[in-house]
Structure 1
Amino acid sequence: MSTLLVKNARSLGESVDLLVVDGKVRTLNASIEAPADAEVVDAAGKILFPSLIDVHTHLREPGYEWKENVATGLAAAAHGGFGGIMCMANTDPVNDDAAVTKQILEAARRAWPDGPRVYPIGAATVGLKGEELARMSELKDAGCVAISNDGRPVGNTEIFRRMMEYAADLGLIVIDHCEDPYLAAKSHMNEGVTSGLLGVKGQPDVAETIQAARSILLAEYLDVPVHIAHVSAKRTVDIIAWGKSRGVKVTAETTPHYLTLDETAVNGYNTLAKVNPPLRTPADIAALREAVKTGVIDMFCTDHAPHAAHEKETPFDEAPNGFTGMDLALTITYGLVREGVLTEADLIRLWATEPARVFNLPVNTFQPGAPADFFLFDPDLEWKVAPDTLYSKSHNTPWLGQLVRGRVVAHWIGGVKIV
């Protein structure tokens, strides 16, 4: 029988000890006497968090291993505090086949046998082409926990309806990347003053909101759930709040960058700040901050989207969209706690308990018998964001080169130390 005692940690402002026996939480109390055979860890000055869940990542394997692979993506997850990650289907070949799902899961088992855990998201349509429904039942049986067409929104509303119905029959939730394919076509940033000054074609925020409204209306009509991906705009927040007020089974996520960076981050044609949906305005940031606090937005995610350096070192309109995220996500969102925008309890809700509830995943509640998935976070540790301090294979983040504060210093999954 293995026994671990974490002493003098901080949890929700209180000093606590955590006793773990055989990979399960035994008790969490203000003071626990060390059993004779226990390994004791002194966590003075560190915050005790349950392992986080990231519901929206891109691991790139198979097919794009020069950007990321399962092993390096899970390294970023482990060091970022994530005990479980849901990975999107835009691989090559696309994860529209059970064989691809099994390949991803096997790669995870080989690279990180003790976790973090990978939960694949299956493609909603064959090849993500939006024309023919994928074999969702086989994908679920192989291990997929949700369905999405990821960054290629389904323009055909009839196909999208059938997709929602089929997924719901299987107990799966559709994760919808909301983007009108016509309004958003060939855009590279938010449409507004900054795009005008830069002479870059912008995407209006309604491109996101119109598609979100379609999804919510269909969810209400069919009485099935839908999950709105990476919300970036105030108008979309308003539509989600409207749907929830009507009892629609709609949930939503947003990312750290939509709560901390605005469209001016792309000034100078900064490709590291190019992302889709694009960074919006200070008014959108304020609305999203309020939405995560009140629960209109249910959870955080990273939308971890690694790209190799040479792919971002191109003219702005040729550079791919996306940031890496798992290395930095908690560091950035803990900054919102310092600002007084959120509390540590909010972070646990947004990064752990709500993702687990919505997608039916295991989570550490620190109740007796819960999985001993947890980490220690040093809120005062300062470090520079650089290629040698990041664990993702790619380093495409707008925080590159900056000094940040707060980092995971140790991480256990099932009572086994992985970091």
Structure 2
Amino acid sequence: MSKILIRGAKVLGGAPQDVLIDGGTIAEVGEGLSAEGAQVVEAGGKVLLPGLVDLHTHLREPGREDSETVLTGTRAAASGGYTAVFAMANTFPVADTAGVVEQVWRLGQEHGYCDVQPIGAVTVGLEGKKLAELGAMHESAAGVTVFSDDGKCVDDAVIMRRALEYVKAFGGVVAQHAQEPRLTEGAQMNEGVVSAELGLGGWPAVAEESIIARDVLLADHVGSRVHICHLSTAGSVEIVRWAKSRGIQVTAEVTPHHLLLTDELVRTYNPVYKVNPPLRTERDVLALREALADGTIDIVATDHAPHPHEDKDCEWAAAAMGMVGLETALSVVQETMVDTGLLDWAGVADRMSFKPARIGRATGHGRPVSAGEPANLTLVDTEYRGQVDPAGFASRSRNTPYQGRELPGRVTHTWLRGKATLVDGKLT
């Protein structure tokens, strides 16, 4: 059916309203709406949000289809309420040419569970030595505007400056994985009391903070945009806050797991808690939550990092870093930000849809729930609470830190341009 009537939904958490979708567009929003022949979805007071946008997803294809593919990753995204994801460049081969980013973009077009916008590598092969084909990737069919060597830091200041200068010409942004490599050699977890007690190599906060400080100064000097990936420390928050007070064009993201989990969990030696950047302290977690609430941190991004069983079910030192996150992100944000009173649902829409779409220039996404806008929407049962069971994930990988944990909220429906990709919690 081309017409869908969502009845009694709390739009952005407000008073219940009806939303009529006609084709791929929101036709009307109001009370007591009716439409002949429309499919009716009884929202029953569930919260209706604009489709979520993730600026930081690892889809692994091409090259690591054993952990995720564009198909399975976008199915996971739809299950989590996302209508658009930005796919990181650390694939095999690396997405450092127009050909590779177009391949990823076309795969997203073919599968249709959500829009896929490739992120191009900053440097050739993520090696940090020579700029990749930034202009060619931007001018390709994929229209790349975000560039990142995520997984590795662009630690050479000259290369970083050149990248910022280059993307400025077309309004692009460099998304930095802030990790000074010399300060993190052999690091296994956050440097602090727990690492000392466990005898694991420490990952100091200054390794992140020093790169952020350098890059906001470079962005200021060049007059270009820089985005900080997966910010994780209280000190990083203060640097970004200072930079914004100076009018520097910096944006920052935080992951759901850094809003909830701490380095105390590493005492279990369970590699599911091994992630880059590492889980930090309770003090850091609280600082990140406050910074997301006051706007110092702009957005929530999942850093969805799927790994096959054999890469995580091993001893800590040998385990890969990363966690899956697309299917649990909204629940963690509800737990840490909404249920604590730090954000309302309009604030969630801002941090998980409006702003990430604006930073990445995702056309048609992150739009208001109002007449004439594309019908990219997600419906959330905020009263639900249940245990996380990775066996039911749409992702190909199961490396979640939340297995067996009770979390609030469940996405029941997702629409991409008026087409249902998730209905009653089941993929179409």
**After TM superposition, is the score higher than 0.5?**
yes
Asked if the contact 1:364–1:374 (Cα under 8 Å) also holds between the matched residues in 2, the reply is: no
Q: Which residue of the partner structure matches residue 344 of structure 1?
A: 345
Deviation at 1:107, TM superposition (A): 1.6
Asked if the contact 1:119–1:145 (Cα under 8 Å) also holds between the matched residues in 2, the reply is: no
Looking at structure 1, the residues matched to 259 and 332 of structure 2 have their Cα atoms a distance apart, in angstroms, of 9
Counterpart check, 1:397 vs 2:414 = no
Deviation at 1:342, TM superposition (A): 1.7
Which residue type is aligned with residue 59 of structure 1?
Answer: L
Deviation at 1:171, TM superposition (A): 1.9
Asked if the contact 2:5–2:19 (Cα under 8 Å) also holds between the matched residues in 1, the reply is: yes
In structure 1, the residue corresponding to 2:130 is in which secondary structure?
A: coil
In structure 2, the residue corresponding to 1:321 is in which secondary structure?
A: coil
Deviation at 1:315, TM superposition (A): 1.4
The Cα offsets for residues 103-148 of structure 1, whole Å up to 9 and x where unpaired, read as 1122222222xx4000100011110101111111111122123111
Asked if the contact 2:153–2:176 (Cα under 8 Å) also holds between the matched residues in 1, the reply is: yes
Matches within 5 A, 1:134-153: 134-142=132-140, 143=142, 144-153=144-153
Q: Which residue of the partner structure matches residue 164 of structure 2?
A: 164
Which residue type is aligned with residue 346 of structure 2?
Answer: A
The Cα offsets for residues 347-392 of structure 1, whole Å up to 9 and x where unpaired, read as 0010011112222222231122110010111122333322322111
Which residue type is aligned with residue 22 of structure 2?
Answer: V
Looking at structure 1, the residues matched to 155 and 324 of structure 2 have their Cα atoms a distance apart, in angstroms, of 27
Q: Which residue of the partner structure matches residue 117 of structure 2?
A: 119
Deviation at 1:198, TM superposition (A): 0.8
Q: Which residue of the partner structure matches residue 84 of structure 1?
A: 84
Gaps of 5+ in 2: 423-428
Which residue type is aligned with residue 289 of structure 2?
Answer: R
Matches within 5 A, 1:225-374: 225-335=225-335, 336-361=337-362, 362=364, 363-374=366-377
Which residue type is aligned with residue 380 of structure 2?
Answer: F
Deviation at 1:308, TM superposition (A): 0.8
Q: Which residue of the partner structure matches residue 196 of structure 2?
A: 196
Asked if the contact 1:94–1:127 (Cα under 8 Å) also holds between the matched residues in 2, the reply is: yes
Q: Which residue of the partner structure matches residue 15 of structure 2?
A: 14
Q: Which residue of the partner structure matches residue 38 of structure 1?
A: 38
In structure 2, the residue corresponding to 1:122 is in which secondary structure?
A: coil
Gaps of 5+ in 1: none
Which residue type is aligned with residue 340 of structure 1?
Answer: G
Deviation at 1:156, TM superposition (A): 1.5
Deviation at 1:17, TM superposition (A): 0.6
Deviation at 1:186, TM superposition (A): 1.4
Looking at structure 1, the residues matched to 340 and 248 of structure 2 have their Cα atoms a distance apart, in angstroms, of 33
Which residue type is aligned with residue 27 of structure 1?
Answer: E
Which residue type is aligned with residue 99 of structure 2?
Answer: A
Looking at structure 2, the residues matched to 96 and 4 of structure 1 have their Cα atoms a distance apart, in angstroms, of 41
Which residue type is aligned with residue 330 of structure 2?
Answer: L
Counterpart check, 1:378 vs 2:378 = no
Looking at structure 2, the residues matched to 110 and 245 of structure 1 have their Cα atoms a distance apart, in angstroms, of 43
Q: Which residue of the partner structure matches residue 414 of structure 1?
A: 417
The Cα offsets for residues 11-46 of structure 1, whole Å up to 9 and x where unpaired, read as 2231111011221112222x1331223222111132
Looking at structure 2, the residues matched to 378 and 247 of structure 1 have their Cα atoms a distance apart, in angstroms, of 39
Asked if the contact 2:390–2:400 (Cα under 8 Å) also holds between the matched residues in 1, the reply is: no
Which residue type is aligned with residue 339 of structure 1?
Answer: T
Which residue type is aligned with residue 108 of structure 2?
Answer: A
Deviation at 1:159, TM superposition (A): 1.1
Which residue type is aligned with residue 347 of structure 2?
Answer: D
Deviation at 1:268, TM superposition (A): 1.7
Asked if the contact 1:386–1:395 (Cα under 8 Å) also holds between the matched residues in 2, the reply is: no
Deviation at 1:213, TM superposition (A): 0.4
In structure 2, the residue corresponding to 1:53 is in which secondary structure?
A: strand
The count of residues paired between Structure 1 and Structure 2 equals 416
Looking at structure 2, the residues matched to 52 and 165 of structure 1 have their Cα atoms a distance apart, in angstroms, of 30
Which residue type is aligned with residue 358 of structure 2?
Answer: R
Q: Which residue of the partner structure matches residue 26 of structure 1?
A: 27
Deviation at 1:206, TM superposition (A): 0.7
Which residue type is aligned with residue 46 of structure 1?
Answer: K
Identify which range, 11-20 or 324-333, moves more after superposition. 11-20
Which residue type is aligned with residue 23 of structure 1?
Answer: G
Asked if the contact 1:364–1:372 (Cα under 8 Å) also holds between the matched residues in 2, the reply is: no
Looking at structure 2, the residues matched to 43 and 373 of structure 1 have their Cα atoms a distance apart, in angstroms, of 16
In structure 2, the residue corresponding to 1:182 is in which secondary structure?
A: helix
Deviation at 1:5, TM superposition (A): 1.0
Counterpart check, 1:388 vs 2:386 = no
TM-score between both structures, scaled by the size of structure 2: 0.95
Deviation at 1:417, TM superposition (A): 0.7
Cα-Cα RMSD: 1.2
Deviation at 1:182, TM superposition (A): 0.6
Looking at structure 2, the residues matched to 340 and 328 of structure 1 have their Cα atoms a distance apart, in angstroms, of 19
Matches within 5 A, 1:208-223: 208-223=208-223
Looking at structure 1, the residues matched to 36 and 314 of structure 2 have their Cα atoms a distance apart, in angstroms, of 60
Deviation at 1:254, TM superposition (A): 0.5
Percentage of matched positions with identical amino acids: 40
Q: Which residue of the partner structure matches residue 426 of structure 2?
A: none
The Cα offsets for residues 234-253 of structure 1, whole Å up to 9 and x where unpaired, read as 00000001101111001110
Looking at structure 2, the residues matched to 25 and 8 of structure 1 have their Cα atoms a distance apart, in angstroms, of 15
Q: Which residue of the partner structure matches residue 174 of structure 1?
A: 174
Identify which range, 363-372 or 190-199, moves more after superposition. 363-372
Looking at structure 2, the residues matched to 284 and 103 of structure 1 have their Cα atoms a distance apart, in angstroms, of 39
TM-score between both structures, scaled by the size of structure 1: 0.97
In structure 1, the residue corresponding to 2:227 is in which secondary structure?
A: strand
